[in-house]
Structure 1
Amino acid sequence: MSTSGGAAAGAADERRTLVRSIAAAAVLGTAAVVWGVAAQSRVLIFDGVFVLLGIVLSALSLVASREASSGPTARFPFGKRAVTPLAIAVQGAALLGTLLFAAADAVAIIVGGGSDVAAGTVVAYGLLTMTCSFAVGRWLGRGATGSDLVAAEVAQWRAGTVLSLVYAVGAALALLLSRWALDAVVRYVDPGLVLLACLVLAPIPLRLLRDAGLELLEAAPPEPVRAALADAVARARAEFALPEPFVRATKLGERLYVEIDFVVAEGTWDVEGEDRVRRSLIGALEELGYELWANVELTTDPALAR
């Protein structure tokens, strides 16, 4: 049995939020690249390219959101909910590849003797983008709060806030070093900040890849969902005096698949009674806000429940 819950209602909010993220990234990314070229700072150029790459990935999320909510068709009778974790996996792979390339470039610069950096410019840039990233993250976080795609976007903006703070602190340290006539050390600050940025950002693509991989492999849903499912089953058992059931569940994007099988004694239940159990469990699970695909069965044959 399939029920839409709140998933369909939130699809439009999800897409609006993604469009807002794209617009904000376009402004900040373009400004960073232009500023980085003018200041001849690799760390600013890296940050701008990273943000602009986020536009491509946000556009991918937007397409995934539209496809995932398009509904079943003759060719895709179960819909395209798998598009959501697939898009998140592509995001993670692309971000990880960008970080590896930037880290390799920074190492090459360090080996080559470093590079000059306009530390004052980087401090100003870091403080400005830290403020903007924090504001955008808070703004996006208010929309489509149950969306995995929006959560991925907000995580990137929050990481950007921390990253900008790292830039500002690192560049401020470079200013202090230059005052102490340690210019030879200052030459390594710019590529050093790039490496530090890569380390700060590395958990994001790794987490995206892990979470998307678990969903695509049909792993158990997150702990809050499992807890809500266990609570719903416990209430149904208490209400209808049912035995411990066999429970299976997995989450795919905004869809939650649940299978609950009770083994009962022969002659104790009819179809009408089974329907009451179904309505009780499905009603409780719909409150989670996912598109719910639930199968609730009562059987006298344990082999059919396993």
Structure 2
Amino acid sequence: MNERRALHESIAGAAVLGTLAVVWGIAAQSRVLLFDGAFILLGIVLSALSLMAARAAADVPSARFPFGKAAVTPLAIAVQGVALLGTLLYAGVDAVAVITAGGADVEPGTVLAYGLVTMTCSYALARWLTHRAPDSELVAAEVAQWRAGALLSLVFAAGGGLALALSSVGDVVRYVDPVLVLVACLVLLPIPLRLLRAAGLELLEAEPPAEVRRVLADAVTSVRTEFGLPEPFVRSTKLGSRLYVEVDFVVPDGAWDVTGEDRVRRALIGRLEPLGYDLWANVELTADPELAR
């Protein structure tokens, strides 16, 4: 519930700031403000996508989707990454075209004022969303965008201030607007790349984050000690809010029964539940090493 509420609030904040940026950019004839407004309004579409993904991921498993729809979370994050990367590439090409055409006339004081206003708003919203749903990956993606927006606004403010200081030096001011767009693209570029990397790793069923691996290793060691079991084969991966764990122990023939295996499974699950994931754990005790590998 907190996750969805936070996503709704992110959408509302983006609508206000995006509209402000577009109107301000049109009035000031500033490409950098229009780019920022378009970037923020794109965030509304991506936030709506995150909201739909959160609803789908929360659906219970069904006959058609026996493992649920947890994969929709990294899929939505990947779409966010692609959309943001495409926007940055387009803006970068347009800025280069403006520079080669001789720049553009923009009032640097407008850029400075806009940067200060949006930096304050973006940073405040990022902090608010962090407290709203601290454990949500979808909200974390939103927070990353708002923090980047705050940093970007700081760049705008600094660029506007520098342009004011250099306003008496030839035609330097004419290049401030497109150069700031290029700087913004470079500042924001790590965000879509990071989103695409994280989503790709999850969709390819890579190992979970280091903290999860550490807790899993500690849990397995504790269970081994409690039940006197040998070193197992351990496999794990994370898909959205779901954590898949498979632990296979090779034991002497006839030494364990189903009831004993269930005790081991419950002991492991109990140690992993504090992680807060939707846990799908499979623990097997087998006498055949080939089945464990």
Query: Same fold by TM-score, threshold 0.5 exceeded?
Result: yes
The whole-number CA distance in structure 2 between the counterparts of 1:118 and 1:289 is: 51
Return the letter of the residue paired with 1:97. G
The answer to whether residue 170 in structure 2 is matched with residue 188 in structure 1 is no
The answer to whether residue 150 in structure 2 is matched with residue 161 in structure 1 is yes
- 5+ residue gaps, structure 2: none
- 1:130 deviates by 0.6
Alignment of 1:1-306 (within 5 A): 12-178=1-167, 181-306=168-293
The whole-number CA distance in structure 2 between the counterparts of 1:183 and 1:142 is: 48
Deviation string, structure 1 residues 152-200 (Cα, Å, up to 9, x no partner): 000000111111000000110000001xx21411111100000000000
Structure-2 residue corresponding to 1:4? none
SS of corresponding position for 1:142: helix
The whole-number CA distance in structure 2 between the counterparts of 1:176 and 1:123 is: 12
The whole-number CA distance in structure 1 between the counterparts of 2:273 and 2:250 is: 24
Return the letter of the residue paired with 2:234. V
The whole-number CA distance in structure 2 between the counterparts of 1:183 and 1:45 is: 25
- 1:45 deviates by 0.6
The whole-number CA distance in structure 2 between the counterparts of 1:173 and 1:76 is: 56
The whole-number CA distance in structure 1 between the counterparts of 2:50 and 2:254 is: 51
- 1:268 deviates by 2.0
The whole-number CA distance in structure 1 between the counterparts of 2:135 and 2:222 is: 25
Query: Higher RCO, 1 or 2 (CA under 8 Å, sep at least 6)?
Result: 1
- 1:261 deviates by 0.3
Which 4+ stretches in 1 moved above 2 angstroms? none
Give the length in aligned residue pairs. 293
SS of corresponding position for 1:298: strand
The whole-number CA distance in structure 2 between the counterparts of 1:183 and 1:247 is: 66
Name the TM-score, length of structure 2 as normaliser. Answer: 0.99
Deviation string, structure 1 residues 254-306 (Cα, Å, up to 9, x no partner): 01000000001123222222111111100111111010111011111101101
The whole-number CA distance in structure 2 between the counterparts of 1:185 and 1:269 is: 80
SS of corresponding position for 2:62: coil
SS of corresponding position for 2:23: helix
- 1:239 deviates by 1.0
Identity in percent: 73
The whole-number CA distance in structure 2 between the counterparts of 1:238 and 1:187 is: 71
Name the TM-score, length of structure 1 as normaliser. Answer: 0.95
The whole-number CA distance in structure 2 between the counterparts of 1:158 and 1:170 is: 18
- 1:61 deviates by 0.4
The whole-number CA distance in structure 2 between the counterparts of 1:70 and 1:143 is: 22
The whole-number CA distance in structure 2 between the counterparts of 1:167 and 1:183 is: 21
- 5+ residue gaps, structure 1: 1-11
The whole-number CA distance in structure 1 between the counterparts of 2:8 and 2:170 is: 44
Structure-2 residue corresponding to 1:5? none
